[in-house]
Structure 1
């Protein structure tokens, strides 16, 4: 017993700045939570706001589940985030009952523990070009109603394509990159972009919670983006950005047209607020989905199903840096279980969400969902559901409801 007390006293004699460096290197939030329970001095250090900010910057938010048309689907055992996901499901409100009830709310995007929703009027034909938006934190049950887009900005938008009934607008949250996150003092600040797909051009508006205001940031004609390619201009007009898959890496958003067999990527650089076009790597990429990620050293990485192979996931890395890479190299082929059809349903800065169904029975079959860590390439089963839900999926990542969890709004 005396030896135990002596050992404990030696640990607590370590200077706080050295102890902080040790605790920052713990691999997972759960390890930090256990360490904080060891003694009062550990707890005091770990709960310090400055320490927690540093820990959250060094460690990726764990994937706790995903949301789809059926609601929130938490990670189940044996997924490594299962216990944290259970605590989240008990504490959070993913039915959003704490939001104002004057309209119905539909999820548009999820990013860094925040959820973006837009309001739906009772009658579909009354849906305006710019709907009411709210950003909320379902874990801490907080929300912010965004101000409407000013009339002068709304008036600058050309009328959406008359061939499409619904206005082609898409709002989404902007992740903070490492430099911005390091410079951010307030952890509750956020930015979102509202894109409008018009018949002849693309427009974008930005809202910053710091200023509380909307501003117009970008507009580009389809004919300029396509550099005179008439066929692409027609294709872009007929298939709005609203329906495209969105990717994010190094301060740029990317949209792919694989579902209509085009190898073009639409790019929005959020630093310059400029639209441009880029090409996919050579080869036949499957409409089962792809994910553009950060491969390190400023280079883009791309996960996808190549040349129609359903049992192997290809990982290709750009050899040159930049938002429009021109040289790609196959890095790895990740073998998947045969007899299944895989789809990439969503991606964040650290994880892929894969859907798997049996190829022999696609209707009313068991649908399984897996997470893949893009750093380690580890594949972990999240959960399983009956039938194939084709609606969009949004990964939810956050620190679990514990000492690491702080309000994002």
Structure 2
């Protein structure tokens, strides 16, 4: 049985109420067609928002010592696939996700998705990755069915939906602009299905406009969304119920940088973490939160409910850190124009260090991906960190333990 904490119970109750409301609305709503779906979506969003407020007031979350889950990561070793096993794979993966139903991993690189089959050594006393084989490569296609140009299309994050589609985040060069994106693709064909609407603050302007107005709400050209995760308690594989998608910027937006961190590509300050509801009708942006950065935010993983693991990378130092973060109680900053300094009334996401990867004694050139994997031989949960080292991809294996 999966571990369920006190903090997760309000989330489970929320899902049950959402199912009940969806049934009631679908049976008794007097409207039909698109208006019926819109009415249903408004009711569900309101219910989720109301229950979220109740969960914030849960006594267990009010006590600092109980805010975080008592978990740890144990390093089990690294594995580099032989060249013959992935000879047809792109050079360097940028993100990875796991399909529990098929027991397969999907890695993304530039404009392609690669399906990987893993096997572990069966000995519970020596848990290691035994082999990684490439099964297939799927090219990503735009709305017209054309292959994205690998010179201008850069995928950075990937997350699998219960409906066997994938959301991919990244950036695409268009003229003088680098535009961030979050798009849904068919996993089998690679065909674009839809694009999420991003607030204007995340869309960079052309160079001339930047020089004329330094106060315009823009991102620097190389900022993108790398971290991408679905909420684990919200995914129901067969029902098509709404799920929660979380993403975040790698670093600070221009208007959010503190004076001391005003240089380009600043990895300190506050990133913005976005919460989307994916379900009836068009995807909806429910909230944004301030995420305190120590380095570049590369990945998010949903542990349960309001608890996530985040991966931050310091390329210059060739190191990274894994944190546990909690979104419960954080202030919605979608209406806050700037996150510079300390803002009265704004509560940031709370985070706690789980593991400093520098302590492992291995070089991390670009630890760009992180995902949960299958159960290990001893029944514990596996976690994989992907590290690209001089065009060679290595996989670091960890055991996740609840205390």
TM-score normalised by the chain length of structure 1: 0.42
Bigger Rg, which one: 1
* TM-score (norm: length of structure 2): 0.43
